[in-house]
Structure 1
Amino acid sequence: MAEVDLPVAPSSLSAPSEMFKLSHRETKREKASCTDGTIALDVAEQSSDGKEDLIFLSASLKLQLWPLETRQHQATGTQAESSKHVVAPVSTFPSLSECLRLWPEVRPQSSSSGGSPSVFDSRSYRPHSRKRARARLRSGQHRSAPAMVFIQSYCEANSSISHTWVDQGISPCFYFTLVPSILLTLSFFLGTIHCVFYKKYGTAMEPKFIPRTCLYGFQLAVSVLLVVQFLGGMVWQAAAGGELPGYVLLYGCFSALAWAWAISLLRVERHRVLVMDRTRGHSAFLLMFWALTFSSENLAFVSWYSPHWWWGLENRDQQVQFALWLMRYTCTGLLFLIGLKAPGLPRKPYMLLINEDERDVEHSSRSLLGRTEENESTWQGFRQKVRLLVPYMWPKGNIVLQLLVIFCLLLLAVERAINVFVPIYYKNIVNDLTGGRSWPTVATTVCIYVLLKFLQGGGAGASGFVSNMRSFLWIRVQQFTNRVVQVHLFAHLHSLSLRWHLGRKTGDVLRSMDRGTSSINSLLSYLVFSIFPTIADIVISIIYFITYFNAWFGLIVFVCMALYLTLTIIITEWRTKFRRDMNLQDNNAKSKAVDSLLNFETVKYYNAENYEVARFEDLILKYQASEWKTQASLAFLNQTQNLIIGSGLLAGSLLCAYFVTEGKFQVGDFVLFGTYIIQLYTPLNWFGTYYRVIQNSFIDMENMIKLFEEEEEVKDEVNAGNLLYEMGKVEFENVHFSYIDGKEILNDVSFTVLPGQTVALVGPSGSGKSTIIRLLFRFYDVNGGCIRIDGQDISKVKQMSLRAHIGVVPQDTVLFNSNIRENIRYGRISASDQEVEDAALAADIHEKIVTFPEGYDTQVGERGLKLSGGEKQRVAIARTILKAPQIILLDEATSALDTQTERNIQASLAKVCANRTTVVVAHRLSTIISADQILVISDGRIAERGGHDELLLKGGLYADMWMNQQQAQDTDSSSDTEAKDRKSEKLQPPSTSSGPHHH
């Protein structure tokens, strides 16, 4: 066996062609040279079999052996001499000594001439001492398998931790060192702080409040699977190829520790809760940890063309590595998505009410945390909110608007491409000017750059041609959205029950409509044209910097973007409660102002102007206090963002400038980096604003969404038909009704109104008289029994057809803020002016109207306040006459009027009710003497029924009510007569005596 001992070569070669000698045994000639960037080591030795082997060591450290023909020397009495060659690129090793240090022990395989090369993976090499590198070659004897070779260094043979970008990809040694170090540091420090807060300040959850879901078990199992995968990967590599590189051990151990710590925090959050924390959703730390792990796995795509990664799937090792990565990629992605749902955490605000009964707390709207919505994240229910937005964004049934939407999205993609090419052409201009290129070349580059800048505009598409064109085309889509949202919401409000309308605040509803509509426009605009493009620009920039520069620049951008977005979201979520409270105080102030102005007369009656002003000022002060907190937190957020952006720009600029001074980059590269970063930071600077606008829009949408979520209490059945009116017979059969549970208003009420009859309802206040009117008009559905018209259950017919046959004259008539003609025409929108005047004539109001300066065009004011009570009532009667219903409902229509006005209106009502089925709710019994039937309602039941004379003869409740009202009228008449007599006495002249006085 021939043996060659090669001592360590010099640490570096001073010149490409430097030569040096190596000591040897049993060799006739040897030399090492460095020529054209290649280290070549020639070892000549005697060969017994007359053949020569050529050994080639590639950049990937794979050993290939080819049998070659023997070169015979013409020397008498000497053995044949063969030459051995070892070749490796200089870029693979920092010095020749490093190359010699990694010289492997090789036992070549037996192979026939012209056969395929034998390939040994680099991990099978065993490095020798730095002082000696020994190569043994057995001439003429080849074994079938390579010997086990071990690498006793941190990185692999052709890699170093300082080399971040190797062969079109990230260095595995660099990547698998940096990623687990960041994750372990993050999980240890931030996770420990988080855990301490939970342990020290958190409240333990009772087991009955902790949800037991299969999804949480799956979340925990996936986390444990990741820990097992990291440990199993190390065991497999050790078993497959001997000792592991140091970075493999570090990656496996650090990653397993980081995930184990994350699992423990996941369990802590499940069993404890912080008072100041949100009641739903995982902490920002866990969400950020899952997002970073998933993002780090995506970085593997950057090294798609690198031979050092597993994408080639050339051998079993790469296939196993790819399978392990695929498992990590799937598991981390699933954990991030599941973490957004937080299946293992309580979904209700009762988590702190550990001593309360579960059922009571379930139905409670408040907890120790305050109102639920104040502690929820703005992004809770994000899917429902987006699902509400999508129909308004895509204009169904309008092909033109649909094409506009598609074209606007295409323009958005064009903007992204322009943002990439603008810095590149700016760099080309600088390189052309510094490189002495010809004028036509420079001019062409400048023209292309200016054209791109014109299309892009200032900053990153803020006011460019493409952006302005997109904004112009989007106007029609935005108007469509605005119109559809307002119309749908307005229609929905009118479909809600009377119960809801009696309990709502008009000012709050109007502001919710206004804010909600504008917030939808803002959401569509900022989400589609600001947030998503900004995120796309960030992703594109990271990939571009990694591929064009190196991994350090991509890492700087990635870290800065991750910190910026994460802190922006965390701080903005923290600011949510201030913004929500500010909205609440603003609503309170506006609502009180509207209420005060609507009750202007009442304020004057009690000289309460100063009180109202002081109360309004107090509400404004509360609003300003909340506004100050909102603005102060905004300033803090802006300073945090500026600090992150400045730090990232400083680090990247210094690194780029360093590479320029070292000659690795051109000046144009520095210009490209600066231009691209500033261009990227311009929209990123607005990202916080975009996020705040979107969050504020979601907050403003919440009240509007709640309006949309209000369910219709009275709904038409799916197959409901129209009311088939025949005669107008009304039947109440065993009707039960209550506004709230436990307090029944009507109890087993039954009566019948024959066609053309008039039935009067009388009784004490609160007995349920007006409720019967509302049930017949179907403002509410009965709890029991049924109401029929001409034998048809009114709950089985459409509400529109039912109400088309019924006319109502209420006690408190409210007119629209329009003229008299339009208020009367409201009874039948299609009526002509002549029909309006005929209705007014029938209601005995025409003569009064024509005396007004503007006649029928007289404005009645808000709620008709410019007209007297009698005039408003007659306008309402004229409106009902114009509608010409078959059934009339009079709800104490004259109770608030004086006696003379009442008599006049009674005559008008008699004309309206002639030959129509009529139900009258009366307070003054004198107005219903002629009714066909009188029902006396008491405590929700019909106490008495019959005609006027019949009920008086019974001497019951009706007779008592009649006697009391008659006595009251007699007293009032006597008082009026005495007052008139006193007045006439004062007007008479004093009496005089006709004769003299005698004393």
Structure 2
Amino acid sequence: MHSSAKQTQAYDFKTRDIKVLRKLLPYLLKMRARVIWATLFLIAAKLANVAVPVVLKEIVDSLDQTNVLMILPLGMLFAYGALRLASSLFNELRDAIFAKVRYHAMHLIALGVFKHLHTLDLSFHLDRRIGGITRDIDRGTQSVSTLLSIFVFNIIPSFFEICLVIGLLWINYDSFFALISLLTVVFYIALTLAITTWRMKYRYQMNDMQSEANTNAVDSLINYETVKYFNREDFEVNRYDNTMARWEDVATKSFTSMTALNFIQGAVIALGVTVILITAAQGVVDQNLSLGDMIMIQALLLQLFMPLGSLGIVYRQIKHNFIDMNNMFDLLDQTPKVSNEQGAPALKVTQGRVEFNQVSFAYPGKNKVLKDISFTIEPGQKIAIVGQSGSGKSTLAKLLFRFYDVSSGSILIDGQDIKTHQQHSVQTAIGVVPQDTVMFNESIYYNIAYGKQDAS
């Protein structure tokens, strides 16, 4: 059995991440009105937020003068509170409006992947380990929600706010303040992206090991009786423990490298803020700036660098979620080996005559199981196929049911080649009593009525 493609391969943003964004965009456009409203509320919230330091400057400058009526600072104080309230209100409205978009996208994507998995042929499901697939789907759908939240609630607002703050500094003060702020932001982002990209190898390895551990655990528990029959509990526990031990080692390296990144980020911000505040303080001493200007610059810097404080975490989450979503969307890229021809008609069964004509078949990568097999089953006839294990008895049933297509020859039902007819219509016309009784983890009624749920 082979597992999903290893994530430790080189990760190319331009090819894989952009592919994810293109696949994600149609789900957002299904609710474009909500996306537009959420964007408008976002802009309103940031405009109100950036206006707060401006009002704060006016309050400080008003209080710094002795011959000003108290009505002015009182009005500014009310304006300060109103802007704070407006910023909070618009943020909450944005969140509420966008919630439907986020969860609807999760719903549609999860449904699409689940539906697609049922269109794939039997060989795909036999070659894959279900534990790994379910883990990829779970991580992928959760990543949809996380990624949308990051872009709408972090990246876009932060970028917009940074532009507003630097613009205010450039317009109202010496260009030196805006230039130092811009250089600090650029340097901070460049370092964060470079170091985080280097650290991603640990995330790839963690995902591989977590999927391996999850797959082993699911396989072990599904085959509980087999484990007991052979007294292999210790083997299963040790196998799981070895995988988790390797995961623990890589996770520790990932966390320690993150602490180094956090220190570097803090140092860059501290340096930029210190240079700007020293310059601003000197401006106050030289009476080129007022005390209110000093307060406004400091408040703007807080609003500028606060989003940057979480940029490292946000960027790591983006990369992590792109990885997880790529694994899920890779499932959608899988194409069935058994598919309907373009415009294939539905099979019409009148009598139920089955013919195998010179049928040969080999499983992928293996020798032929069947070679030039021919026989006919007349309507109402009962036959038994006898042979040693591995001679191809079960394969005949799988070919008739179109789990696989024949390598050569043809299978006819009432003179119709099943390969040229819709797979669903072929399978609907055939009733199967499997050799191994498989039960869903549901009620007895659910299992009995599963084949025809409208039966009474």
Query: Hey, what's the Cα distance between the residues in 2 that align with 1:536 and 1:492?
Result: 39
The counterpart of 1:411, out of the listed 17, 24, 41, is: 41
The counterpart of 1:425, out of the listed 51, 55, 61, is: 55
Rg: which structure is higher?
Answer: 1
Asked whether the equivalents of residues 534 and 687 of structure 1 are also in contact (C-alpha less than 8 Å), the reply is: no
State the partner residue of 1:780.
404
Letter of the aligned partner of 2:154 in structure 1? S
Query: Hey, what's the Cα distance between the residues in 1 that align with 2:358 and 2:45?
Result: 70
Aligned ranges 1:561-640 → 2 under 5 Å: 561-640=185-264
Measured after TM superposition, the shift of residue 781 of structure 1 is 1.6
Which SS does the other structure have where 2:9 is aligned?
A: helix
Q: Deviations over 1:29-57 (max 9, x none)?
A: xxxxxxxxxxxxxxxxxxxxxxxxxxxxx
State the partner residue of 1:256.
none
Root mean square deviation of aligned Cα: 1.9
Query: Hey, what's the Cα distance between the residues in 2 that align with 1:371 and 1:508?
Result: 12
Query: Hey, what's the Cα distance between the residues in 2 that align with 1:736 and 1:419?
Result: 72
Measured after TM superposition, the shift of residue 732 of structure 1 is 2.0
State the partner residue of 2:172.
548
Measured after TM superposition, the shift of residue 521 of structure 1 is 0.8
State the partner residue of 2:97.
473
Structure whose residues are more often helix by fraction = 2
The counterpart of 1:434, out of the listed 64, 69, 93, is: 64
Measured after TM superposition, the shift of residue 742 of structure 1 is 6.3
User: Quick one: percent identity of the two aligned structures?
Assistant: 37
- Distance verdict in 2 for CA 1:828–1:372, change over 3 Å: closer
Query: Hey, what's the Cα distance between the residues in 2 that align with 1:604 and 1:783?
Result: 40
Q: Aligned pairs, how many?
A: 452
Aligned ranges 1:645-664 → 2 under 5 Å: 645-664=269-288
1:390 lines up with 2:25 in the alignment? yes
Which SS does the other structure have where 1:762 is aligned?
A: coil
The counterpart of 1:796, out of the listed 410, 415, 420, is: 420
The counterpart of 1:451, out of the listed 60, 82, 87, is: 82
TM-score with structure 2 setting the length? 0.94
Measured after TM superposition, the shift of residue 790 of structure 1 is 1.4
Query: Hey, what's the Cα distance between the residues in 1 that align with 2:138 and 2:376?
Result: 47
Query: Hey, what's the Cα distance between the residues in 2 that align with 1:773 and 1:467?
Result: 60
Letter of the aligned partner of 1:385 in structure 2? V
Query: Hey, what's the Cα distance between the residues in 1 that align with 2:59 and 2:360?
Result: 86
1:376 lines up with 2:11 in the alignment? yes
- Distance verdict in 2 for CA 1:643–1:373, change over 3 Å: same
Which SS does the other structure have where 1:747 is aligned?
A: strand
Query: Hey, what's the Cα distance between the residues in 1 that align with 2:378 and 2:321?
Result: 56
- Distance verdict in 2 for CA 1:806–1:371, change over 3 Å: closer
Letter of the aligned partner of 1:410 in structure 2? L
Query: Hey, what's the Cα distance between the residues in 2 that align with 1:689 and 1:371?
Result: 24
Aligned ranges 1:326-345 → 2 under 5 Å: none
Query: Hey, what's the Cα distance between the residues in 2 that align with 1:685 and 1:559?
Result: 16
TM-score with structure 1 setting the length? 0.44
Asked whether the equivalents of residues 378 and 699 of structure 1 are also in contact (C-alpha less than 8 Å), the reply is: no
State the partner residue of 1:729.
353
Which SS does the other structure have where 1:827 is aligned?
A: coil
Asked whether the equivalents of residues 377 and 573 of structure 1 are also in contact (C-alpha less than 8 Å), the reply is: no
Structure 1 residues without counterparts, runs of 5 or longer = 1-364, 396-400, 457-463, 833-999
Aligned ranges 1:203-222 → 2 under 5 Å: none
Q: Deviations over 1:519-572 (max 9, x none)?
A: 011111111221122122222322322222122111111111111111111111
1:689 lines up with 2:324 in the alignment? no
State the partner residue of 1:859.
none
- Distance verdict in 2 for CA 1:802–1:585, change over 3 Å: same
- Distance verdict in 2 for CA 1:372–1:402, change over 3 Å: closer
Asked whether the equivalents of residues 774 and 780 of structure 1 are also in contact (C-alpha less than 8 Å), the reply is: yes
Query: Hey, what's the Cα distance between the residues in 2 that align with 1:726 and 1:601?
Result: 45
1:666 lines up with 2:301 in the alignment? no
Letter of the aligned partner of 2:37 in structure 1? F
Query: Hey, what's the Cα distance between the residues in 2 that align with 1:736 and 1:548?
Result: 82
Query: Hey, what's the Cα distance between the residues in 2 that align with 1:600 and 1:688?
Result: 43
The farther-off stretch of 650-659 and 747-756 is 747-756
Which SS does the other structure have where 1:809 is aligned?
A: coil
Asked whether the equivalents of residues 393 and 524 of structure 1 are also in contact (C-alpha less than 8 Å), the reply is: no
Measured after TM superposition, the shift of residue 749 of structure 1 is 2.4
Which SS does the other structure have where 1:734 is aligned?
A: strand
Asked whether the equivalents of residues 378 and 695 of structure 1 are also in contact (C-alpha less than 8 Å), the reply is: no
Which SS does the other structure have where 2:454 is aligned?
A: coil
Query: Hey, what's the Cα distance between the residues in 1 that align with 2:7 and 2:59?
Result: 58
Measured after TM superposition, the shift of residue 391 of structure 1 is 1.9
Measured after TM superposition, the shift of residue 417 of structure 1 is 1.3
- Distance verdict in 2 for CA 1:372–1:620, change over 3 Å: closer
Letter of the aligned partner of 1:708 in structure 2? L
Which SS does the other structure have where 2:363 is aligned?
A: strand
Asked whether the equivalents of residues 378 and 573 of structure 1 are also in contact (C-alpha less than 8 Å), the reply is: no
Measured after TM superposition, the shift of residue 716 of structure 1 is 1.8
Query: Hey, what's the Cα distance between the residues in 2 that align with 1:718 and 1:419?
Result: 57
Asked whether the equivalents of residues 422 and 452 of structure 1 are also in contact (C-alpha less than 8 Å), the reply is: yes
